[in-house]
Structure 1
Amino acid sequence: MNDDSLIYVLALQHCAGIGDITAKRLIQQCGSAEAVFKDRPGHLLKLGGIRKNALDELKDLKHMAAAEKELQFIKKEHIDCHYYSDATYPQKLKHCMDAPILLFSSGAIKIKQQRVISIVGTRQMTMYGKVFCEKLIEDLAVLNPTIVSGFAYGVDICAQKAAIRHGLQTIGCLAHGLNQVYPKTHKRYVPQVEQNGGFYTDFWSTSKPERNNFLKRNRVIAGVSEATIVIESAERGGSLVTADIAQSYNREVFAVPGRTTDKYSVGCNNLIKQQKAHVLTSAADLIYILNWDIEQRPEPVVQKQLFVELDDTEKHIYKYLEENGKQLLDVIALNCDLPVHVLSSTLLGMEMKGVVRPLPGKLFEAV
């Protein structure tokens, strides 16, 4: 799509009174986003599905001005734009009625003819959820699925880090523009995600990570995937919203069962009880329900490392943690004779290799 066409699509996306469903209907009936802006108001009203206040929005020049400014950001930061009729637009998302008319991405995402699953859950993940999530992805790795999540605390980042460790593509769906990272502490994971997939968002650089944006973002998580998995959830939570959206798209939904007394298993148990999700106890359940053929698996994008190689500094740190157990960042730096900034970057690399585990309170332990 050239810049002239993109400007009008951006301007249409910026109109608060016109949602994705209405926008696509207008584009289909008028022929293009540019034609929507240039059509007579009376004719647009006859087409149906648009209100008088939305017509007033189309006349407001602020939308074109905002679109021009956003286009400058897109070009400056080399953001990829995917129009809903483009071949690069995620095929599964394209079939969702309320899918965004324009999707932005960074990294090197490739999900054409890929097995794509979303993994979501609570931000307060327990050790039970963590162990299950990591084991699930380890067992699925042979099938080379793409792992989609929301890049949030807890289950989301656990799934995406595990995907990277096993050489799988992973996609983070964001509730804000690509000019920022939320939560900020996850900024250190951005390069690894972009090297092994990337990020999707339908939000502009002017959008902030507000609550409603997270709820809206969930339709992208559910829409790009053939199945959504809820690892852990309290009685209420965003992951349950994602599960409901996935079900409305006629996609498979899975939930990991837990003890009835566990707070962060209530949501999953309810999904299963209400027959809104399949019981997921292992990778075999997913493979069976989705009818994945394990004998005719595609070649992995990245060859999984069977043996992790550590340099001398990493070996020194690992040996120290192995012998002394959980240790504070500053204590590790002191005893390993390393500057904190050097240690931090080294620990991140070791974390991505799966040999150390970060814990709350700037603690680290060997795996």
Structure 2
Amino acid sequence: MKLIYPIALTKIKGIGPRTARNIMDHCDNLADFFSYSKKELMQIPGVKASIADAVRNKTYLSACEKELAFIDKHHIKALWIEDKEYPDRLKQCDDAPLMLYYKGNAVLNATKVISIVGTRNATHYGQKICEDLISDLNENRDTLIVSGLAYGIDALAHRNALKNNIPTVAVLAHGLDRIYPASHRELASKMLENGGLLTEFTSETIPERVNFPMRNRIIAGMADVTIVVEAAIKGGALITAEIANSYNRDVCAFPGSIYEKSSEGTNYLIKTNRAHMIRHAEDLAYVMNWEISKKNDVYQQLALPLSLTKDQESLFTLIHQSGQLELDQMIKLLSWPQSKLALVLLELEMQSLIRSLPGKVYKSLAASPLVAK
């Protein structure tokens, strides 16, 4: 497929990720879409008369050709949503961008992808958290650190990743023809040596306010977990955490002083069960079940002879078959008293067979059903 077609799709006003998916489902080849009549175009769900007119007018072609020249000149990778190098985790999100523009050498589909976000006014406490957390992550191979190149926690995450030789990618709210903030040009340049710069925006796109929430959904969507280090009660970090929760991704937060505004956001996330409370990399590994995956072979050997009561096996099998299950669904399916259900859930969690997630959701951690007594 010629690159001009996916770029053209992003240049037509009114075509968002969901409409684009309808177009892709409707057309065997994306090139066919641009040859359809107006009547044929409007048979596609989401394609209005204004979109059909824009497709037929082809006023977007000059901008597409200009973008192709920019991509070629600056050795930028244009990643279409169906490409192998496109971030797999992001692809699972309904509102994933159709195109990403990437300059760098990091693998976007690393085994562990961790987004780190927070306030632009980081305190010494936040600085120390970033330093210690990323230093401890240095022992994990095939890890990618993602953030947004902003002042404060974002920049600290990138700098500490580089210091510890961990690839780090910045997701930008503008095109790759500029760096914002400009004072981070040197940092961005260093990241190209072990990481990269990623955006959904074409060249000449300026960092407008509306672009930052769009940028945040990529930060949340391409990661296994989003970690909020420090954050006020309002701001981009909490938006990113909320988006990550909407994608059913893990969110973690560091607790802070009840007297500090820079910790109001993280404390709120923890209080409302929107984030797991963590203190260090070991807590992160526990939440993500990463320490079990490192010892996966040993774990499976131990799992099979382990004994469970009949009630424990019934509940574990129910959760395991679904992968994860909400508390309300368990109550309906089992018809147990809530006190009994709470006790059995606690027993399974203490044996590291399940894990509680925000929103009263429980996730299976074991590889296979176990033997009952």
1:91 aligns with 2:88: yes
Following the alignment from structure 2 to structure 1, what is the Cα–Cα distance between the partners of residues 132 and 109? 26
Aligned residue among 244, 248, 251 for 1:250: 248
Alignment of 1:318-337 (within 5 A): none
1:155 aligns with 2:153: yes
Give the equivalent residue in structure 1 for 2:203. Answer: 205
Following the alignment from structure 1 to structure 2, what is the Cα–Cα distance between the partners of residues 280 and 56? 52
State the Cα distance separating 1:50 from its structure 2 match. Answer: 2.1
Q: Secondary structure at the match of 2:83?
A: coil
1:6 aligns with 2:3: yes
Give the equivalent residue in structure 1 for 2:179. Answer: 181
Give the equivalent residue in structure 2 for 1:261. Answer: 259
Give the equivalent residue in structure 1 for 2:72. Answer: 75
Give the equivalent residue in structure 2 for 1:142. Answer: 139
Aligned residue among 220, 225, 228 for 2:226: 228
Alignment coverage as a number of residue pairs: 294
* Stretch moving more, 124-133 or 15-24: 15-24
Following the alignment from structure 2 to structure 1, what is the Cα–Cα distance between the partners of residues 87 and 243? 17
Deviations 1:238-260 (A, max 9, x none): 11111111111110001111111
Give the equivalent residue in structure 1 for 2:36. Answer: 39
Following the alignment from structure 1 to structure 2, what is the Cα–Cα distance between the partners of residues 293 and 270? 27
Distance 1:60 1:261, change over 3 A: farther
Give the equivalent residue in structure 1 for 2:275. Answer: 277
State the Cα distance separating 1:57 from its structure 2 match. Answer: 2.2
Cα contact 2:22–2:44 (8 A) shared by 1? no
Deviations 1:54-106 (A, max 9, x none): 22222232211111111111111111111111111111111111111111100
Deviations 1:223-270 (A, max 9, x none): 110000011111100111111111111100011111111111111111
Cα contact 1:259–1:265 (8 A) shared by 2? yes
Distance 1:70 1:119, change over 3 A: same
Alignment-mate amino acid for residue 28 of structure 1? D
Aligned residue among 66, 90, 112 for 2:63: 66
Give the equivalent residue in structure 2 for 1:306. Answer: none
Cα contact 2:148–2:219 (8 A) shared by 1? yes
Following the alignment from structure 1 to structure 2, what is the Cα–Cα distance between the partners of residues 273 and 82? 39
Distance 1:84 1:237, change over 3 A: same
* Stretch moving more, 206-215 or 34-43: 34-43
Q: Secondary structure at the match of 1:210?
A: coil
Q: Secondary structure at the match of 2:93?
A: coil
**What is the identity percentage for the equivalent residue pairs of Structure 1 and Structure 2?**
43
Alignment-mate amino acid for residue 88 of structure 2? Q
Following the alignment from structure 1 to structure 2, what is the Cα–Cα distance between the partners of residues 132 and 147? 15
Q: Secondary structure at the match of 2:26?
A: helix
Give the equivalent residue in structure 2 for 1:121. Answer: 118
Distance 1:286 1:271, change over 3 A: same
Gapped regions of structure 2 (runs ≥ 5):
296-373
Cα contact 2:37–2:56 (8 A) shared by 1? no
Aligned residue among 237, 240, 249 for 2:238: 240
Following the alignment from structure 1 to structure 2, what is the Cα–Cα distance between the partners of residues 164 and 113? 16
Deviations 1:290-347 (A, max 9, x none): 11137849xxxxxxxxxxxxxxxxxxxxxxxxxxxxxxxxxxxxxxxxxxxxxxxxxx
Following the alignment from structure 1 to structure 2, what is the Cα–Cα distance between the partners of residues 221 and 32? 30
Q: Secondary structure at the match of 1:146?
A: strand
Q: Secondary structure at the match of 1:219?
A: helix
Following the alignment from structure 1 to structure 2, what is the Cα–Cα distance between the partners of residues 112 and 274? 31
Following the alignment from structure 1 to structure 2, what is the Cα–Cα distance between the partners of residues 112 and 238? 24
Give the equivalent residue in structure 2 for 1:314. Answer: none
Following the alignment from structure 2 to structure 1, what is the Cα–Cα distance between the partners of residues 66 and 220? 30
State the Cα distance separating 1:289 from its structure 2 match. Answer: 1.0
- With the length of structure 1 as denominator, give the TM-score of the two structures: 0.77
Following the alignment from structure 1 to structure 2, what is the Cα–Cα distance between the partners of residues 134 and 121? 14
The Cα RMSD (Å) is 1.5
Following the alignment from structure 2 to structure 1, what is the Cα–Cα distance between the partners of residues 183 and 57? 39
Q: Secondary structure at the match of 1:62?
A: coil
Alignment of 1:101-116 (within 5 A): 101-116=98-113
